[in-house]
Structure 1
Amino acid sequence: MSESTVMSEETAVRQEVLLTEDHGAVRVLRMNRPHKRNALDTELTTALLDAMLAADADESVRALVLTGEGPGFCAGADITEFAGLTPADQTAVLHRAELTARTQLLPQQLRKPIVSVVRGAALGGGAGLAIGCDMMVVATDVAFGYPELRHSIVPAIVMTGLQRQIGRKLAFELVSHGRLLGADELAGIGLANRVAEPDRVLDLGLEIAGRWAEANPVALAATKELFYRVADLPVDQAMRAGRDVNAIMRGFRG
């Protein structure tokens, strides 16, 4: 069997666990393991990472929507894989941890904006992906949280994003008690930008992404990059970074 045939077969498999569809300049990435509540196994996580990178490199795509097939967004890590991730195979353990970390971090590193559209369960790594996007739209049936500790698992990789999104007291309650948040509370603490009925939530996400797609892509990419960069800088350095981008973009317009 040739290498190209193997690659084609691998691509076909990945397309089964992650569906993509374009709505004009908006690309929808749909996790497609509804029988597992879109739980993140290695195959789906790899497909998602690759698809986000491909969309970011595709000049015909200006904005992204991340959602899940079926009634739930993503139930987090597929724990059925954990049986093979043991100290006896450190290479596999480290590879999976690196893959998970890269995928959780990537939405904010993309040049193009991405909105998560969340119905039903968004748990653990699924919750991390949802709030890692630039905006989040939730359905009224959402159940959002970090129940890992109930399964004697540490929510290690998702903890960084959670702490940076909400106050420490609530963040610690979520990771230590596993309490789930509904749509109203997510909106009330600023994690959800919009709330809609389940049959309307994707339309709302597409509407948000469509507005991004109408903007100048260079200016929008610069806005997104600066937005996250200044969040991690002292105020004086952040202002200098803003000054520099301001001068560059004024020059670009001229």
Structure 2
Amino acid sequence: MAGTTGMREETVVPRGVLLTEDRGAVRVLRMNRPAKRNALDTALTEALLAALLAADADDAVRAVVLTGEGPGFCAGADITEFADLTPADQAAVVRRADLTARTQLLPQRLRKPIVSVVRGAALGGGAGLAIGCDMMVVATDVVLGYPELKHSIVPAIVMTGLQRQVGRKLAFELVSHGRLLGAEELLAIGLANRVAEPDRVLDVGLEVADRWAEADPVALAATKELFYRVADLPVDEAMRAGRDVNAIMRGFRG
């Protein structure tokens, strides 16, 4: 099978701020700014957006793993860039906001399934990326949350995804108090699918991706697209959408 752990062919392509590694049919994307706790500056965000689109367009890739180099997943936006993002250059401000929004939204828009593998800190935009993937595997040392208000920043772009993942009361507590969540609570509230020790968490994430890689890619892509489409539809419209896909896929199988 294409995604079988014991039969992976491994290739690693260095990409500066982002490392790309193919393990059989699974593509591993590794944010690579460990000295900055993989904070999302413009270069890393652009590289991540391009790499996700490239993985989705590559027929040899059937599943994606997103993780971070070093002991942390992603500390959120690189605030050192904020000095240049001022009302004096409104066009740059809008471009950066648009880039961030597109990148945060993209994991659920991909045809390929994606799992985040999260060690250490996943904060702000990093938390948004982590929970925005189709599944999430966390290490026992994970710390996930939205501390933006402590820095007089509004967690604006990540708020949409958070509200759709957890109840409103908890979501408001997270963005207004900056409370951080650990592994067991993430598992209990359904944000994490698996918990593993830090030295095992990537292996567990790869096991999740391998299961996807064994499925028919057309059926899996249709499953993912329908899954997110029905989430925002009224029940009767969602059922009609499911009926339509059911008929299409039965016809496709002949």
* TM category, shorter: over 0.9
Does structure 1 residue 20 correspond to structure 2 residue 20?
yes
Equivalent-residue separation in structure 2 for 1:234 and 1:115 (angstroms): 27
Does structure 1 residue 235 correspond to structure 2 residue 235?
yes
- After superposition, the C-alpha distances for 1:2-49 in whole angstroms (9 at most, x for unaligned) are xxxxxxxxxxxx811000000000000000000000000000000000
Counterpart for residue 204 of structure 1 = 204
Does structure 1 residue 109 correspond to structure 2 residue 109?
yes
Write the letter of the residue equivalent to 1:122. A
What is the RMSD computed on CA atoms of the aligned residues? 0.6
Equivalent-residue separation in structure 1 for 2:190 and 2:93 (angstroms): 35
Counterpart for residue 167 of structure 1 = 167
Counterpart for residue 9 of structure 2 = none
Write the letter of the residue equivalent to 1:166. V
| Counterpart mapping for 1:78-89 below 5 A | 78-89=78-89
Equivalent-residue separation in structure 1 for 2:23 and 2:109 (angstroms): 22
Equivalent-residue separation in structure 2 for 1:240 and 1:171 (angstroms): 31
Equivalent-residue separation in structure 2 for 1:154 and 1:244 (angstroms): 40
Equivalent-residue separation in structure 2 for 1:83 and 1:158 (angstroms): 21
Write the letter of the residue equivalent to 2:32. N
Write the letter of the residue equivalent to 1:178. G
| Counterpart mapping for 1:1-254 below 5 A | 15-254=15-254
Give % identity.
Answer: 88
Displacement over 3 Å in runs of 4+ = none
Write the letter of the residue equivalent to 2:40. L
Equivalent-residue separation in structure 2 for 1:242 and 1:170 (angstroms): 31
Give the TM-score taking structure 2 as reference length: 0.94
Structure 2: 5+ residue runs without aligned partners?
Answer: 1-13
